[in-house]
Structure 1
Amino acid sequence: MRRNFARKQNHSEVVEEDKRSKMPANWESKKRRVEEEMALAERKKAAEAQGLDFDRLQMLEVSVEESDRWANKRKPADPDSGKWSDFVAATERQYTRNMRQFKPSMEEYNANKKLWEDSSAETSGLIVAGQHDAVSRQGVDRMVADLQKTIERRKGSSRRRTHDAEADIDYINEPNKRYNQAIERAFGKHTQSIKDDLERGTAL
């Protein structure tokens, strides 16, 4: 009796597993999402029947932790918008970007700190200008490498356009030239056949 029951149960589980394997990969999540949407629709209908604001009721159920988590998700990881407002903001943005990739040498710092403390004991902890002029070779190399990287980056992001002396002049001044270029970008592919017909007509 038990054996027959176990056999039937095993058979039904095999059939269910086979059915699940033939389903799409995301079928479970889709089914769960549809069930959640149906339950939400029923709750909305019940709230509207009672004359209540459903969105307000939903927000009352949200905990402070969930609200903070949503706010942090919407907050950009890098608050730098990239917009140029003034020189102070640009300098601060550049400094923050540089400090992100800066790896200080704590051994060098501690050695210099010990040297400064020993030599400036008689001046009550003050560092006299020009007293510590020695700069490590690694520090100079690091600065040079950073400057070269900045120069290379600026080369790649230059917006300066080379002047094409053989291009047709269809403008009367620089603003008109930029306007014509904008029109060409927007409508050039649509008007190319008309231009070709005009060129052939003038050539004849």
Structure 2
Amino acid sequence: MTPSEPSPASTSSKPETSDPASKAQERMARFRALQARAKTSSDQNLKEATKESQRLATDPSQLNAVTRKHAIASQKLLKADIEESGGDFERKRAWDWTIEESERWDKRVKKRDAHRDDTAFRDYQRESEKAYKRQLKNMGAPDLEKYTREKMAAIEKAAAAGTLDIVETEDGEMIAVDKDGTFFSTADSTAFAQHKPDKAAVDRLVADLRKAEEASLKKRRDRQAKNGEDNGDVTYINEKNKQFNQKLARFYNKYTAEIRESFERGTMV
């Protein structure tokens, strides 16, 4: 062995001293990265929690509830002060209202009381009327701008085709009416059958029908749960027949589900 050649002991000792140092540096780098990730997550969670607390603090429903409670407390305090001084609270409060505002308020209170007294079941005709009014209320306000545009387009079309007539009403008002009844329908017109509603109106109708069907099914389930009927309609005449129907349902319900739903909706032909 020449003096310039390194000894085996010296060559084997260098990796042993360098490997632990590199591993320590790698572990420290991973630790720093985990620390940075944890700090980022903590800051993000704190920011989201702050936003959530601010949203809860400015919730409109909670603000309305607080405002309502404050108004009720103020009214009770004012009433107590006036009664202690020997005054009439209702007379004192009426000074702050005009005749129109008082009449509107009385009408609102009367309507609210009538609605509260009309919650009980009377007959099916009254229930149908209430459901009809509720559906009309949920439809929203009519689109008068669209109605005006369609009316003007129909009048222009009728004027261009020469089928526009000017009709005088009993009170002397002049009205433009198209002869074929494409817009101003008469008893003889059939143009209403050609009307095609827009997609928003169709979606609103479908959503209303689905909502009514879900409400009906919910009432039906509640009634069945109250009567102890957990298997749908009563299709049995005794307990033995009930067990037989349950056995059939386990095997064949998955094949007859669509037919049964069609029968329930009344769309089965």
Give TM-score, length-normalised by structure 2: 0.32
Larger radius of gyration: 2
Task: Give TM-score, length-normalised by structure 1.
Answer: 0.40
